[in-house]
Amino acid sequence: MNPAETEIAKAIDRWIVALKGRNLQQLFADYAPSIILFDVKPPFQLRGVPAIRTMWEECLPCFPESFGYERRDIRLIAGVDVAVAHWIFRITGWPEDHPAAGMWFRATLAFQRTGGRWLVIHEHVSSPFDPMTGMVVSKPEVE
């Protein structure tokens, strides 16, 4: 990894630690104020940290009291001032009969170097779907 990719990997790891710790202040430490999030659930597009913060304030109480974050297949590509990272992930710790148990998602983050720091300017989280049925494929082959 080059130094920029290392910095970005650390930012992603900080975000995961903040999420698992329900630390909303830290969750947005590496977000640009004008970030755009294309989320896995409606409204599908959120603009700015305040809107994303509200979404997490509404969602986090629905998460298990203690949960994990499993990430696979991360790829980082960094240029001089723009970078992209993508991976697949799931939230662990749900009861086995919970609809979210075992669901995998795709995440893509776009970063821009601003004032010497890498900030997230775009985040996209999605679930694959079967175009023949329109149904979400919540447990794609990832093994």
Residue 110 CA to residue 123 CA, distance in Å, equals 6
Q: What is the pLDDT along the chain (143 residues), one digit of tens a residue?
A: 899 999 999 999 999 999 999 999 999 999 999 999 999 888 889 999 999 999 999 999 999 999 999 999 999 999 999 999 999 999 999 999 998 888 999 999 999 999 999 999 999 999 888 888 888 887 766 55
All structural domains of the chain with their residue ranges: 3-136
Distance of CA 73 to the CA centre of its chain: 14
For residue 16, which of 83, 115, 85, 81 has the smallest C-alpha distance?
A: 85
Q: How far is CA 47 from CA 9, 26, 121, 123, 141, in A?
A: 24, 18, 10, 10, 32
Which CATH fold would you assign to the domain 3-136? Nuclear Transport Factor 2; Chain: A, (3.10.450)
Q: What is this structure's pTM?
A: 0.90
